[in-house]
Structure 1
Amino acid sequence: MDAPITSGTTLPSPWREQIEDWLEAVTRADGVRPVNDLGLRMLRGDREGRFWWVERSGALLGVALLDPADRSVQVVVDPTVRRQGLGRRLAEQVLAADPATWWSFGTLPGAQALAARLGLEPVRQLLKMRRDLSRAPLSADEISSLLPTGTSLTGFTDPDLDDLVRVNAAAFADHPEQGAMTADDFRVAMAEDWFSADDLLLVRQDDTGDDTGGDAGGDTGDLLAFHWTKTVGDDGEVYVIGVAPEHDGRGLGRALLAAGLAHMARRGARSIHLFVEAANTRVVTMYESASFEVELRDTSWAASPTASSEDLDEH
């Protein structure tokens, strides 16, 4: 595999326009999506990134992308040219940029082998969980009964954006990707074809009371939690559930999960998936109690203190 590796801060225009079709072909071959949403936005030019790519005779063979926000790496090699050293060559180029972590979605055997040759160790896992909607979601009255006294389920409007960013940042303060999202990042996501404001469910404190007995919430109508759902065709996703830390433990997550499932069922979803940190056992248990089961595991890898580029081998 002697095609040269090119690098830059944007992919060439033709590949930005074709990237989703190319990634879809890789997904069909592997059974798992090769990049996450942030990676896709970088590849399309909607978000800052750094890239290394190989093309030959007008065909894209492989691409590596580095997210400057957290210095994480995602590498995609076309299935038709694997095991010819291309993954290794791309990895060598990325190593010079001193990345922090490397993602392997689905933790496929080839990715595990390359991680071992790079001297990487698993440091984090995301679970992809799924359930069908053969059992009817809860009714509106049943969902209302799950909400704490003095709170209401509302829809999203543009003036809610600043509150949404604030609660998201607090809820995911320890999450390297989600917690760093800015208002501009939210606007980019909201510009996606699949987005509808109706898909964002909010829980606010009622104007007339505060059942917490403290200063949090109060009679200000504060945003306490949200569930961002995503429905594409008959597939739904628990995109994000965020609860303000001072209101954690009040059952808001369970109520919003139930409300989101019912909403996506009305939108025509027949199956629902989500991603959750494997280490967050309390939340994993909540999803398991709602009939979600683990479908895939995504792994984040980091360099072992003894690793070096000399450990690389053919891939």
Structure 2
Amino acid sequence: MALSVEQVLAIAKATEAYDGVAPLDEATLLTLRNRPQDVTIWGDVRGFGLLVSTGSTTVGELSLVVLTQHRGVGLGRQLLLQAGELPAGTTAWSHGDSPAAAALAERHGWERTRELWVMRRPSTDLPPAPEAPDGVVVRGFEPGDEAELLRVNAAAFAHHPEQGSLDEAGLRERMSEPWFDPEGLITAWGVSTNGEVSTSSTTGGRLLAFHWTKRHSETEGEVYVVGVDPAAQGRGLGKLVTLLGLNHLAEVGISAIHLYVEGDNTPAVKLYEGLGFTRAAADTHVQYTRR
């Protein structure tokens, strides 16, 4: 009998409790909960394989999850073989740089193509946020900001394979999650010609940058997304909204803050290191791509 979505989520939760890292990323979880018709699931109570469709193409994202007590006996390989002949370009994440995942990938024609780093810092001793430059007003998210938020996100992450594809439906999904806090979505706006903030490009008031924070628990928070309109870069707005978001998390009681950053994004890594974030070797997520 095929596994249900509830069984898949239960196995994933049990695996996270042991490993200390979630085996499924946010996009996969949202698809499971909101669009289960886009997910193919196989396996049994020991573990599962899961393939998420990425839309009109045949290429998808694969997840293989095995409960701790059933590892080391080849179940991961069995689940991979049960997926059938996956097309070139199919991706899979190892959430944590697992030697077992690396060996399985190499043996079956998957190439290591990306590293996503997790960086962390406590919320104590945060640098103060600088003053907003002239012509910029900072505030929390308000209804009606959606179109500008999507515009800046698309421009800032034009070459990012996941974040750059965020659309109105994906935005609504995330804003419907229990953790969403409008005050935790910091937005920086250009001031229009009459001195008011407007999302209308005809008056000159447009969104310049944003920092979307996320609360995972009472004590754990995340630098979820920081986006700067490419046309507004070089004005220190990324650092401004990042620090405002960090201080917001501290003010609401968060004690530990983390973020995800591409391992080869040197400017971003330097920015976060300058803000006191550090990384442990174990905090590396690896994406493999089917050759």
Deviations 1:44-90 (A, max 9, x none): 244653323212xxx35223223424622222111121223221122
Candidates 89, 114, 119, aligned match of 2:109: 119
Is there any run of 5+ residues in structure 2 with no aligned partner, and where?
196-200
Contact residue 49 and residue 62 of structure 2 kept, 8 A: no
Alignment of 1:76-225 (within 5 A): 76-98=65-87, 99-138=89-128, 143-145=129-131, 147-208=132-193, 219-225=203-209
SS at match of 2:21: coil
Deviation at 1:181, TM superposition (A): 0.8
Contact residue 205 and residue 218 of structure 1 kept, 8 A: no
Q: 2: CA distance between counterparts of 1:94 and 1:129?
A: 33
Instruction: Name the stretch that deviates more: 35-44 or 18-27.
Output: 18-27
Contact residue 86 and residue 290 of structure 2 kept, 8 A: no
SS at match of 1:53: strand
Q: 1: CA distance between counterparts of 2:143 and 2:41?
A: 37
Count, aligned residues: 280
Contact residue 39 and residue 51 of structure 2 kept, 8 A: yes
User: Does structure 1 residue 276 correspond to structure 2 residue 261?
Assistant: yes
Deviation at 1:218, TM superposition (A): 8.4
Deviation at 1:111, TM superposition (A): 1.2
Report the equivalent of 1:227: 211
Report the equivalent of 1:65: 51
Report the equivalent of 2:287: 300
Give, as a single letter, the amino acid of the residue that structure 2 aligns with 1:224.
Answer: L
Of all paired residues, the percent bearing the same amino acid is 37
Contact residue 73 and residue 103 of structure 1 kept, 8 A: yes
Instruction: Name the stretch that deviates more: 46-55 or 174-183.
Output: 46-55
Instruction: Name the stretch that deviates more: 277-286 or 46-55.
Output: 46-55
Give, as a single letter, the amino acid of the residue that structure 2 aligns with 1:32.
Answer: V
Q: 1: CA distance between counterparts of 2:219 and 2:234?
A: 32
Q: 2: CA distance between counterparts of 1:208 and 1:158?
A: 22
Candidates 228, 233, 254, aligned match of 1:243: 228
Q: 2: CA distance between counterparts of 1:275 and 1:72?
A: 19
Report the equivalent of 1:213: none
Give, as a single letter, the amino acid of the residue that structure 1 aligns with 2:259.
Answer: L
SS at match of 1:35: coil
SS at match of 2:271: helix
Deviation at 1:165, TM superposition (A): 0.9
Give, as a single letter, the amino acid of the residue that structure 2 aligns with 1:299.
Answer: V
Deviations 1:118-149 (A, max 9, x none): 122211111110001221441xxxx352x332
Report the equivalent of 1:34: 23
Contact residue 52 and residue 93 of structure 1 kept, 8 A: no
User: Does structure 1 residue 51 correspond to structure 2 residue 51?
Assistant: no
Q: 2: CA distance between counterparts of 1:186 and 1:285?
A: 28
Give, as a single letter, the amino acid of the residue that structure 1 aligns with 2:284.
Answer: R
Give, as a single letter, the amino acid of the residue that structure 1 aligns with 2:288.
Answer: W
Is there any run of 5+ residues in structure 1 with no aligned partner, and where?
211-216, 305-315
SS at match of 1:294: coil
Q: 2: CA distance between counterparts of 1:271 and 1:256?
A: 18
Q: 2: CA distance between counterparts of 1:160 and 1:198?
A: 13
Distance verdict in 2 for CA 1:64–1:47, change over 3 Å: closer
